[in-house]
Structure 1
Amino acid sequence: MIADPLILSIILIAIMFVFLLSSIWIGVSLILTGIVGMLLFDHNLPPVLSVYDKIGDLLAGSLYDAMNSWSLAALPMFILMGEILYKSSISTKLLNGLKPWLAYIPGGLLHVNVAACSLFAAVSGSSAATTATVGKITLDELKKRGYSKELAMGSLAGSGTLGFLIPPSLIMIIYGVMSDVSIGKLFVAGILPGLLMASLYSFYIMYKAKVDPSVLPDVEETFTWTDKLHSLKDLAPIFSLIFVVLGSIYGGFATPTEAAALGVLGSLILAAYFRAINIEVLKNAILNTVKTSVMIGFIIAGAVFLSQVIGFLGIARAMSEFITELGLSPLMLILLIGIMYIILGMILEAVSIVVMTLPIVLPIVVLAGFDPLWFGVFLVFMVEMAQITPPVGFSLFVIQSISDEKIETILKATLPFFIMMVITVVLITFFPGIVFYLPNQMIK
């Protein structure tokens, strides 16, 4: 009889990876892992019903609880908003509007990736959509103008991950639902860290342009004030959408779910204003939204069931006690957790990492004295790193598909921006006020 919950956790993790490596859907893998765990270790469960009755009751209850969340309704709405912007030509207008304003900064139009990803992240919430949308527009254009393709790919890979951090963020919605942390506060908390990381990217580009002029074209492109003013007609509507979505949340006028509905309405109005909407675009956007939302919802449901099983078997409590008995300092604990997430990021995608680890990790970090709001931002950084770490770095695959470059080349180009991401994590760890400042000021 195996009774040690720590051994149970290792066995369950091994079972889960067997299912995942068997190419079974992630949601199904999580549910099967929970069922196998209960069948193997039913002696750890309260002896009230048969194990099959317990599995049925727990599975039905957890699946209902996972999906019966008003906050979760924001997820498909933000996905639909991003899809409408992606399928229409609005994203192209965003880039064209930014060009005249960035041309005179050291590094020139290489900053377009950082600026465009930051802005598109604020209306999409998806790193994949951000990377694909901006990359399709910028990579070929920057290469034609004589900019370093390697630096363009690296800045795209790093900046594309901002879709998870700069609100509205799909990962933050999932974290908020699973951890019972205010999604509005999470959105606000992600702003300064996101801007900090984007600034570090831009500083690196400026540094690179100064020490290695070969990354820039021989002939600089010039823009007049007339060009800048003309570009505002493309930028103003998009900035208005960002203001409506985020302003309604921060001003207390709307919940994240209501703001998401406003975002969908705003994206439809923008698409109509730019004459970039038709039945085909709308149909594809809705279809992709349904596919993505169902996939994420199924994963969340499976994760909630597995977390219930973990609670029944006493694994979370035992893990917390084990970590506590190790006597690790809070900083050493968060370092080990960060390393764990980086390793997981090499084999799993972002949503899976969050939903599979949060039931075990969150009680431990709270017990160590970390605020769940701060840990939510920290976790987003960790899954951002997962987007650009091989072999399952989703953003790397997106860039490879639109650049036709070898993955080794993309990895080399991405490394400096990965380091910038690590620096940002260190800064928010030693200076948590970066995370808490805006929530304390704007949401009481």
Structure 2
Amino acid sequence: MNDFLIIGLLIVSLFGFLAGGVWVGLTLAGTAWIGMELFSTRPAGDAMAITIWGASSSWTLTALPLFLWMGEILFRTRLSQDLFTGLAPWLNKLPGRLLHTNVIGCAIFAAVSGSSAATCATIGKMTLPELKKRGYPDNMVIGTLAGAGTLGLLIPPSIIMIVYGVAAEVSIAKLFIAGILPGLFLALIFMGYIMIWAWRNPGLVPAADAEMTFRQKVYQSRNLIPVMLLIASVLGSIYSGVATATEAAAIGVLGSLIISALQGSLNWSTFKASMQGATRLYCMIALILAGAQFLTLSMGYIGLPRALAEWIGSLGLSQFWLIIVLMVFFIILGCFLDGISMVVLTMGVLLPTVQAAGIDLIWFGIFIVFVVEMAQVTPPVGFNLFVLAGMTKRDLPYIARVSLPMFFLMVFAVLVLYFVPELATLLPQHMKL
């Protein structure tokens, strides 16, 4: 059967389930089951059981519930309020004011977690209630958080970079170094967008806090000390080689509990509430991940990603148009697959074409991370959208709509990355690794 006809049938199935109110994770699994039953010879039942069990029992994912728990603990302490108290004096004169805490917070936490979902959920737990309480518009708060959460994939450490490095046989250390400047550049683009929005909509930005002297600002910054110590302990344990990301997440939970105890906000009620909140959020994310993993397996057996990749390789495009077509290809593929699966299923076919076009493989790795980031905010399988939908109780179309500007900013960032490749290649070229 024609590949495009199969894609059409699966899209109809996917949106049919979603329109019927079926949970997203079950929708993905159901679409995968239909695809495998109709278009492959592999029995769907045992494949579903094995895949969902494998996705749910992955040691790599252990860091996610721990980081989510850390966010829940911090949400129930004064830490989120202290974060705003410490940052507010420095952001008062910046157009958009405290909206920038979404971007700054995600950029900092991205260097800790390496996960888009964990970054979005953890920072969201701290910023969403505070910004709502201070009167910032929901569409900007949610949209900027959805976009900034993707920094978890670009600013190292990054699981996507590790997977790509193994597949492309390039230095993972160089990939990590290469992600720093593009990550900071993307964060600055997001902050620039917030400033432009604030200039155009001054009436929607809450009034600034009372003006302070430099000495008073520094004094207020003492509120950031617990946050900085927590970040330093998690980051330091990773980059010193003392702990893995999962172990660092456990250190973060322990540090959060200590801070909570010192602030007097740790009691049985808050402890239980934090565990329940993290469990609910992780179960939602885990069900989506399990469904996406089964959909990935189903797509692999049907052969769609490989067939489409081979078709792109046969077009004989110039370097620029190859990048544009690959960007569109991965954006479409990201509507159905998670980022790691996209890389695993397509790199074997695409890398010879990319090398033949004279594209640097380190640069291409950063490009792949960018397009995977876009997939985090594109329905129906945009994990950041699902995380925020669960946290805010808003429907998915609303979350997708307010996140759309972030998507276009990422497209712009990819074009800049193409015309200024030094953003990704400068640091790896000048550092001995």
- Name the TM-score, length of structure 2 as normaliser: 0.74
- Comparing 319-328 with 84-93, greater Cα deviation is found at 319-328
Counterparts in 2 of 1:170-319, with a 5 A limit? 173=159, 190-203=179-192, 221-319=210-308
Aligned partner letter, 2:277: N
Question: What secondary structure sits across from 1:326 in the alignment?
Answer: coil
Which amino acid is the alignment partner of residue 120 of structure 2? Answer: S
Structure 1 residues 157-166 or 205-214, which shifts more?
205-214
User: 1:170: how far off?
Assistant: 12
User: Could you say which residue in structure 2 is the equivalent of 1:137?
Assistant: 130
Between the aligned partners of 2:256 and 2:187, the Cα distance in structure 1 is 24
Identify unmatched segments of 5+ residues in structure 2.
355-360
2:31 is aligned with what amino acid?
T
Aligned-residue RMSD, C-alpha? 4.6
Could you say if the C-alpha distance between residues 24 and 425 of structure 1 is closer, same or farther in structure 2, counting changes exceeding 3 Å? Answer: same
Asked if the contact 1:27–1:301 (Cα under 8 Å) also holds between the matched residues in 2, the reply is yes
How far the C-alpha of 1:213 sits from its partner, in A, is 7.7
Q: Secondary structure at the match of 1:327?
A: coil
Partner residue, 2:31: 33
Which digits, 9 at most, give the CA deviation of each residue in 1:253-291, with x for residues without a partner?
322111111111122122222223222222222112222
Which residue of 1 is the match for residue 49 of structure 2? 60
Would the alpha carbon gap of residues 213 and 40 (structure 1) be closer, same or farther in structure 2, given more than 3 Å must change? Answer: closer
Q: Deviations over 1:14-56 (max 9, x none)?
A: 33333333322233233333332233234xx3xxxxx64xx34
Aligned mates of 2:283, 2:207 — CA distance in 1: 49
Q: Contact 1:155–1:201 (CA<8 Å) still a contact in 2?
A: no
Q: 1:395 to 1:261 in 2, by over 3 A?
A: closer
TM (norm. structure 1) is 0.73
- Counterpart Cα distance in 2 of 1:116 and 1:386: 22
- Structural mapping, 1:38-437, within 5 Å: 38-42=36-40, 45=41, 52=43, 55-104=44-93, 111-112=100-101, 114-116=103-105, 118-119=107-108, 125-131=118-124, 133-141=126-134, 154=140, 157-159=143-145, 161-166=147-152, 173=159, 190-203=179-192, 221-329=210-318, 331-339=320-328, 354=339, 365-366=350-351, 368-369=353-354, 373-383=365-375, 385-386=377-378, 420-435=409-424
Shift of 1:380: 4.4
State the identity as a percent.
35
The structural deviation recorded for 1:426 is 2.3
Q: CA deviation at 1:165?
A: 1.0
Q: 1:34 to 1:167 in 2, by over 3 A?
A: closer
- Please state how far the C-alpha of 1:205 moved relative to its aligned partner: 5.5
| 8 Å contact kept, 1:248–1:254 | yes
The alpha-carbon deviation at position 158 of structure 1 amounts to 2.3
Tell me how far apart the structure 2 counterparts of residues 239 and 283 of structure 1 sit (CA, whole Å).
Answer: 26
Residues 165 and 172 of structure 2 are in contact (CA less than 8 Å); yes or no, is this contact kept in structure 1? Answer: no
Gaps of 5+ in 1: 46-50, 144-148
Q: Distance in 2 between matches of 1:8 and 1:137?
A: 46
Q: Identify the residue that residue 358 of structure 2 maps to in structure 1.
A: none
**1:163 corresponds to which letter in structure 2?**
G
How far residue 234 of structure 1 moved from its aligned partner, in angstroms, is 1.3
Gap change, CA 1:132 and 1:161, over 3 Å in 2: farther
Rounded to whole Å, the distance in 2 between the matches of 1:398 and 1:61 is 27
Paired residue for 2:357?
none
Alpha-carbon distance change, 333 to 168 in structure 1, aligned in 2, over 3 angstroms: closer
